[in-house]
Structures are given as C-alpha cells and as structure tokens.
Structure 1
Amino acid sequence: MKIVALLGRILFALIFILSGISHITGAGVDMTAAAGVPMAGVLVPLAGLLSLAGGLSILLGYKVKIGAWLIVIFLIPVSVALHNFWAVKDPMMAQMHMAMFMKNVSILGGALLLAYFGAGPYSIDHRKG
C-alpha cells in the first residue's frame, strides 16, 4: 500500500506542473489582467514558477514540505484574486467561480497535509531520512 502515497503525489503534482509550464510562457496573462490583477505580465509567470517548482518537488518527493508551501503560496492569492465568486454579478459565472474557488480550497487542504506529513515512502526525502 506504500504505492498509494506515490500515486497520490503524482496525481496531485500534475496540475501544478502542467499549469506552471503554461503560466511561465504567459498563458493566462490577459485573463488575469482582465480580472484586475496589477502587473499580470510579471505575476503570472512568477506564479507559474511557484507552481512548477512546488509541483516538481512534490512529484519527485524532494523537499516536499517546502514544495507544498510553495503551492500554498501560489493557491491563496490566485484563488482570492481570480475566483472571487462573491463579487461576480452573473449567477452562472458566480457559480463557476465558486466551484473553482472550492476546488482550490480542497487542493489547498491537500497541500497543507503534504506540508505537515511530508512525502511518504518512495520519495527522495524518505531515502535520506
């Protein structure tokens, strides 16, 4: 059953690695700027670096507690700035943003668990320990 921790880390990390790569290349800058985020051209690639670094750390099982905190640092401002459902007037858009916000809150919970418990077996961190 030790393999479950590895599978969980892989599945958890994928969204951050893939979105991190696209954010570094500038994908999402226009949407972020339209949401009123200042300096989106700088902040989106920076968020992409946080996402990619945290995701790779978790995937590899190397310094996972630090990687998980990078994900926390990424998720909190992104969730509040881009999925502020409480400020959206269109009911369907508000519902979509609420779902995205709650997805991020759920993922935030997983990141906090990784920040506390670490990588688990089948990880670089576990081999060093």
Structure 2
Amino acid sequence: MTNILDFVARFFISLIFLLSGINKIGNYEGTVGWMESSGMPGIFLIPAIILEIGASILIIAGYKVKISAALLSVFCIATAIIFHSDLSDQMHFISFMKNIGLAGGFLFLVVNGAKDFSLDKKLGN
C-alpha cells in the first residue's frame, strides 16, 4: 500500500506543474505578458516550461526524483517570492502559501526519494 500511495502522491504533487507547463505553451503570449508585468523578463518562460513539464514527468515516472523535486522546490519558493509577494492581498497570500506548501512537499521527496513504483528502483539508483 505504501508504494501505491507514494506513486499517487508523486502524481498529485507533480500534476499541477505538468498541466501548468502545458497551459503556458497554449497561452504563451499571455504568460509572457503576465511575467513582464511582474518585472520578470519573458525569456524565462521557456526554461520554466521545460522545468515544469520535464521535472513533473520525471517525478511521476520515478526517475531522478530527488534532483527533480529539489529543482521544483526551489522553483516554488522563487515563484512565491517573485509573483506573490503582496501578502496584504488575500489571493497573493493564498498563492504564496500554496507555493511554500508545495515546496515542502517536494522537500519530502528530496529526503525520501521514490518507493518501489519508480524507474529509480527498477534501475537500482
């Protein structure tokens, strides 16, 4: 049961970033505009998309989970600070705290890695 719950947890925590990365591709210009309105150069959208989609797929598959989770944890903290720092605004506060919570979830993966339902275990990593 632990192995199934581990896989489900990896899937759930990664799904938001997988879908977000795909959505950024579909709304590329709008996302660039939003980023630039927050003072972030739009050129950073491409690495963000690659990170969100790539790391999410790796975590779901259970391959290089600790590295991928560490990268997404840093990404969550950075995006919380850059895009949701107006903590007097209720929506920004909630988004900030969700990002921090997700960063914590990814840190659990950094510490514990993936269980048996993972490519890491199958490949002996």
- TM-score of the superposed pair, with normalisation by structure 2: 0.88
After superposition, the C-alpha distances for 1:2-32 in whole angstroms (9 at most, x for unaligned) are 2111111111111111111223452521111
- Looking at structure 2, the residues matched to 111 and 59 of structure 1 have their Cα atoms a distance apart, in angstroms, of 12
1-10 or 72-81, larger mean C-alpha shift: 72-81
1:99 alignment partner in structure 2: 94
Root-mean-square deviation (Å): 1.5
Alignment map for 1:19-30 (pairs within 5 Å): 19-25=20-26, 26=28, 27-30=30-33
56-65 or 71-80, larger mean C-alpha shift: 71-80
1:75 alignment partner in structure 2: 76
Residue type matched to 2:120 in 1? D
1:58 alignment partner in structure 2: 59
Residue type matched to 1:68 in 2? A
**Structure 1 segments (4+ residues) deviating >6 Å:** none
Gaps of 5+ in 2: none
1:8 alignment partner in structure 2: 9
- Looking at structure 2, the residues matched to 120 and 85 of structure 1 have their Cα atoms a distance apart, in angstroms, of 38
Counterparts in 2 of 1:103 and 1:31: CA distance versus 1, 3 Å: same
2:110 alignment partner in structure 1: 115
- TM-score of the superposed pair, with normalisation by structure 1: 0.86
- Looking at structure 2, the residues matched to 35 and 47 of structure 1 have their Cα atoms a distance apart, in angstroms, of 15
**Count of matched residue pairs:** 121
Gaps of 5+ in 1: none
Identity of aligned residues (%): 36
- Looking at structure 1, the residues matched to 71 and 22 of structure 2 have their Cα atoms a distance apart, in angstroms, of 15
